[in-house]
Amino acid sequence: MYKCSAQAQLVLDQVTARCQKDTETKNTWTGKSGKYMFIMGRENADGKATGVVHKYQPDGSHKLAGSFKILADGIITRFTGLSKADWNNYMNSAEAEYKKSLTNNNMENWERHLNRIWNGGKLFIIGAVVLFITFTLGTFKPNKHVVNNIKLDQEQKTINNLKKFGLHAPLFKFKNTKQFVENVQNCVNYLNLTTEVHKRIPDKIIIAMADVESASGTSRFATEGNALFGVRTWDLVNVPHMKPGAIPNASFGVKKYKNKCASVADVIDILNRHPAYKDFRAERNKQLKDAYWDYKKLVPLLAPWSTNPEYGNIILRRMKELKL
């Protein structure tokens, strides 16, 4: 089962109820412009729920149409295929359910504690206090390594199933930096559907790199060659490429791609196989066991990507500027 905050789950429950009403399924609904399907993405340590949205085509197939994000507090920031009125209805209903559950839980907890106090003695009271303090401090929880292994195993099974579908890379359509960031996020979500967990690159890093390297998708390499990262090639015979405008006789070229999402896929592949990023991969694999990414440890290990010694700080700063 997908793990997210209680408030985000209540909003998802509202969407699921809509799907059951429209199509008797758990993830497909009928919108104003057609039929849509949502697919859950990677679980998020901060409790938000994210994923991609596909739209059904006349021939019965479906293609990527966008994505969705529900914050940990139950706020929908985007949900392709659902209207803003739907967003507000689902958020309001979820909030009411959440407040009701809090009230009921509080009453049940108090009744439970009172019964235990009356039926028990001092030893039980001391034990209850210890358990309460332990739980409050966050030390009473399942073994995180066991939970993480179960999650990774389930995600791998999901990846194997998704590879059987002929999914298509999302198109890039943007007019500003915000839209460009959303496009890159959609691409990363799409690629993660068929990428093993231990080979995924944190989406915030990819987005910040793409934004810095391509000037939010407006550079010549990005507009003419779909190249968002300026990946160089010295095979000028077999690899499609573009020459830098300032040095047309350069011995290298910047790789061209059939679409911008292919550029993102290439960078993910490079970071996963090139020996220059061995330390980056080691730190990434180490942090897979943790609840949150430690970007201050991870990003500086991308230094080989640029000749600028401040590249790591540039990426970290851009992540903060973009509020990723």
pLDDT of 130 > 50? The answer is: no
Element (H, E) at 254: strand 253-255
Asked if residue 71 and residue 199 are part of one domain, the reply reads no
- What pLDDT, in 10s, does the model give residues 251-282? 999 999 999 999 999 999 999 999 999 999 99
- What pLDDT, in 10s, does the model give residues 136-175? 555 445 555 555 555 555 555 554 555 454 556 788 999 9
Strand 62-70 to 49-56 pairing: antiparallel
* Residue 161 included in any domain: no
* Residue 32 included in any domain: yes
* Residue 104 included in any domain: no
The reported pLDDT for the residue numbered 313 is 94
Contacts of 211 (CB under 8 A, 6+ apart): 177, 180, 181, 184, 217, 318, 322
* Residue 146 included in any domain: no
Strand partners, 232: 254
Asked if residue 181 and residue 85 are part of one domain, the reply reads no
Asked if residue 83 and residue 187 are part of one domain, the reply reads no
What is the side-by-side order of every strand in the sheet holding 241-242?
Answer: 232-233, 253-255, 241-242
Contacts of 183 (CB under 8 A, 6+ apart): 170, 172, 173, 174, 217, 260
* Residue 211 included in any domain: yes
Percent of the chain with pLDDT over 90: 57
pLDDT confidence band for 129 (50 / 70 / 90): low
Q: Which of 43, 71, 90 is the last residue of a domain?
A: 90
Q: Which structure tokens are listed for 76?
A: 């929908």
Q: Which structure tokens are listed for 130?
A: 């210890």
Task: List the CATH number of the domain containing 229.
Answer: 1.10.530.10
The pLDDT of 21-33, averaged and rounded, is 92
* Residue 47 included in any domain: yes
Structural domain boundaries enclosing 70: 6-90
Contact of 52 with 67, CB cutoff 8 Å: yes
The reported pLDDT for the residue numbered 120 is 52
Asked if residue 302 and residue 185 are part of one domain, the reply reads yes
Domain count, the chain: 2
* Residue 109 included in any domain: no
pTM for this model (two decimals): 0.52
Q: Which of 74, 90, 106 is the last residue of a domain?
A: 90
The pLDDT of 220-242, averaged and rounded, is 94
The reported pLDDT for the residue numbered 95 is 85
Asked if residue 81 and residue 186 are part of one domain, the reply reads no
* Residue 135 included in any domain: no
pLDDT confidence band for 123 (50 / 70 / 90): very low
Q: Which of 60, 90, 120 is the last residue of a domain?
A: 90
